[in-house]
């Protein structure tokens, strides 16, 4: 690992725009986008005049050259040949019932969203809640018979202009009516055969009991995975004390070879969008969640039987009932009478 150089904090951290999102009213005509002008505008961000004064997070600043070099190496400098702005058909997500969501409005859930710092290790999630959360993690939403998950046409995944590349290996600890074990959510069904061939050949790939027809979830093996989940997440108890935890597994080397190195950060964008959905879903059913940035990817690959970089573990996550530290004061993140946590 490259060592950092320590010194006085610069007056401003380096900034680089990652993406631009276009918001427009539903039902309106598809807007035209001049990619050339937009690209030129983004390149001029470094020349903008800052307003206000940035907060100093530390008296010292560590310069990790490898981070800046990587950020430069994975830049997307121009659109791909034939690439253009496209509004994909709208897809809604499957809802099993209104029961799990406790009549909450979206704005209430967003304002309550917090990262758990600990899980209670006892709460048991209902199987319907578990399936409902995973249904909302699917990129294509509710499909007609014969259609397959893959295109990112459901909210919020439709902001990503490529078919889903990220799947989820789930360690199920406490879900009523569902055996403990290792499960796998295939978010792009075009990858199913490749995944099955790349992973351990003794996995079951069995459909769980009561699993909705439109949910491509498979049980790989039964067994208590709490210690395993904790070990591969840098020995963190939070990975084993929730209802379930997961590793996000991306199709990796073929994507970079096919599209270019600029897809590297975009795979992390996809894990980020998936993580935010899990945060909101957990809060909507009355529990909590948190991302896990420290994990042993080689150990994850060994558990799954992955031998090369065709697939790569990119992020971990856990969902469960939080232990609230009452020493920490929680202030409203956004103004809003009567709806802040």
Task: Show the tokens assigned to 186.
Answer: 């295939």
Task: Tell me whether residue 334 is in a domain.
Answer: no
Top-confidence range, 42-56, 75-89, 115-129:
115-129
pLDDT given for residue 337 in this prediction? 56
Among 101-105, 122-126, 220-224, 242-246, which stretch is predicted with the lowest mean pLDDT?
101-105
Task: Tell me whether residue 89 is in a domain.
Answer: no
Task: Show the tokens assigned to 307.
Answer: 């031998």
The tens digit of pLDDT for each residue in 120-149 reads 999 999 999 999 999 999 999 999 888 999
Please tell me the number of Cα atoms within 13 Å of 335 on its side-chain side. 0
The residue segments making up the domain with residue 153 are: 99-320
- Partner residues linked to 8 by β-bridges: 60
| Same domain (yes/no): 28, 125 | no
pLDDT band at 12 (very low <50, low <70, confident <90, very high): low
Higher pLDDT, 37 or 118: 118
| Same domain (yes/no): 24, 103 | no
| Same domain (yes/no): 129, 191 | yes
Distance CA 330, CA 114 (A): 9
Task: Tell me whether residue 85 is in a domain.
Answer: no
pLDDT given for residue 81 in this prediction? 78
What pTM, to 2 d.p., does this model score?
Answer: 0.86
| Same domain (yes/no): 191, 263 | yes
pLDDT given for residue 341 in this prediction? 46
Distance CA 45, CA 17 (A): 8
The domain total for the chain is 2
Q: Which long-range contacts (CB under 8 A, 24 or more apart) does 264-271 make?
A: 264/74, 265/18, 265/74, 266/160, 266/162, 267/165, 267/166, 267/314, 268/314, 268/315, 269/18, 269/19, 269/160, 270/157, 270/160, 270/164, 270/165, 270/166, 271/166, 271/314, 271/315
Answer yes or no: is pLDDT of 308 > 50: yes
**What is the Cα 299 distance to its own chain's centre?**
20
The answer to whether 107 and 339 are in contact (CB under 8 A) is yes
Task: Tell me whether residue 326 is in a domain.
Answer: no
The tens digit of pLDDT for each residue in 242-279 reads 999 999 999 999 999 999 999 999 999 999 999 999 99
| Same domain (yes/no): 110, 56 | no
């Amino acid at each position: 690992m490259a060592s950092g150089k320590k010194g006085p904090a610069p007056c401003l951290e380096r900034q680089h725009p990652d993406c631009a999102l276009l918001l427009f009213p539903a039902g309106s005509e598809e807007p035209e986008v001049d990619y050339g002008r937009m690209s030129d505008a983004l390149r001029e961000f470094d020349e903008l005049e800052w307003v206000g004064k940035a907060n100093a997070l530390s008296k010292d600043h560590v310069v990790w050259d490898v981070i800046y070099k990587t950020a430069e190496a994975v830049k997307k400098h121009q659109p791909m040949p034939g690439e253009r702005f496209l509004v994909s058909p709208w897809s809604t997500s499957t809802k099993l019932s209104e029961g799990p969501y406790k009549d909450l409005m979206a704005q209430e859930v967003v304002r309550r969203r917090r990262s758990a710092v600990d899980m209670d290790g006892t709460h048991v999630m209902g199987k319907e809640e578990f399936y409902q959360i995973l249904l909302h993690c699917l990129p294509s939403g509710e499909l007609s018979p014969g259609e397959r998950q893959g295109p990112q046409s459901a909210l919020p995944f439709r902001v990503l202009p490529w078919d889903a590349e990220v799947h989820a290996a789930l360690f199920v600890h406490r879900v009523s009516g569902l055996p403990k074990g290792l499960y796998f959510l295939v978010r792009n069904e075009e990858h199913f055969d490749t995944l099955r061939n790349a992973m351990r050949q003794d996995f079951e790939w069995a459909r769980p009991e009561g699993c909705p027809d439109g949910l491509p979830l498979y049980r790989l093996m039964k067994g208590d995975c709490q210690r395993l989940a904790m070990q591969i997440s840098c020995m963190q108890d939070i990975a084993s004390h929730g209802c379930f935890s997961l590793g996000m597994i991306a199709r990796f080397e073929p994507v970079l070879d096919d599209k270019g190195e600029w897809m590297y950060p975009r795979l992390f964008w996809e894990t980020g969008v998936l993580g935010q959905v899990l945060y909101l879903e957990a809060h909507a059913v009355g529990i909590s969640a948190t991302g896990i940035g420290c994990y042993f990817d080689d150990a994850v690959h060994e558990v799954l039987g992955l031998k090369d970089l065709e697939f790569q573990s990119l992020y971990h996550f856990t969902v469960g009932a939080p232990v609230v530290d009452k020493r920490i004061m929680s202030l409203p993140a956004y103004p809003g009478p009567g709806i802040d946590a």
